[in-house]
């Protein structure tokens, strides 16, 4: 019998006598992982702060400039095609007590005219003293209106402001 075992081991490499254990197939249930992925997606969608809508939509002039407008701390002066003026800014109000509540953000939008613009600028700068002032003007608005707005800004000691424009499409800004 020892000869048979030796012969079998020598002749066939031992496959007759030594059997390899067969591995059991591992099966992973992906359902909980998909559930968690969708829960995370819903959580991020619900907690993300999207850009608030503008006071008035305007058709901006085109420019080759590639300077990005700041995303926060902005006082926006919007001039429509018919020379209507809107002042828009966000005010961040801290919670009333020492709680873990988040800051509350209040959007202020006011329609005004040129004589009342200085009051609106003073009110906005009192709430946001270091905010950038951005003028968004429709490309068909009158130049005299924009010039009057810049004069009001200079009178309110706001010598630095930004004029918003759309980026020209094409290669290299052309």
pLDDT (mean) for 111-127: 87
CB-CB contact of 73 with 92 (8 Å): no
Predicted pLDDT at 67: 75
Helix 114-127, helix 143-155: angle, nearest 10: 50
- Tens digits of residue pLDDT in 5-63: 444 445 555 555 677 788 888 888 899 999 999 999 999 888 887 766 666 677 677 77
- Tens digits of residue pLDDT in 86-103: 888 888 777 777 677 777
How many Å apart are CA 82 and CA 84, to the nearest integer? 6
CB-CB contact of 60 with 165 (8 Å): yes
Q: What is the pTM of this model?
A: 0.61
User: pLDDT at residue 142 above 50?
Assistant: yes
User: pLDDT at residue 169 above 60?
Assistant: yes
């Amino acid at each position: 019998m020892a000869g048979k075992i030796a012969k079998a081991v020598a002749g066939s490499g031992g496959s007759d006598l030594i059997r390899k254990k067969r591995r059991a197939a591992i099966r992973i249930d992906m359902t909980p992982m998909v559930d968690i992925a969708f829960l995370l997606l819903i959580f991020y969608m619900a907690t993300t702060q999207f850009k608030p809508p503008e006071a008035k939509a305007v058709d901006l002039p085109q420019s080759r400039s590639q300077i990005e407008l700041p995303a926060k701390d902005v006082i926006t002066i919007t001039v429509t095609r018919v020379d209507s003026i809107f002042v828009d800014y966000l005010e961040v109000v801290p919670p009333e007590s020492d709680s873990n509540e988040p800051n509350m953000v209040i959007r202020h939008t006011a329609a005004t005219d040129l004589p009342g613009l200085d009051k609106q600028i003073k009110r906005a700068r009192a709430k946001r003293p270091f905010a950038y002032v951005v003028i968004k003007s429709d490309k068909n608005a009158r130049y005299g209106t924009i010039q009057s707005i810049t004069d009001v800004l200079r009178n309110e000691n706001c010598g630095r402001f930004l004029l918003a424009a759309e980026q020209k499409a094409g290669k290299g800004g052309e």
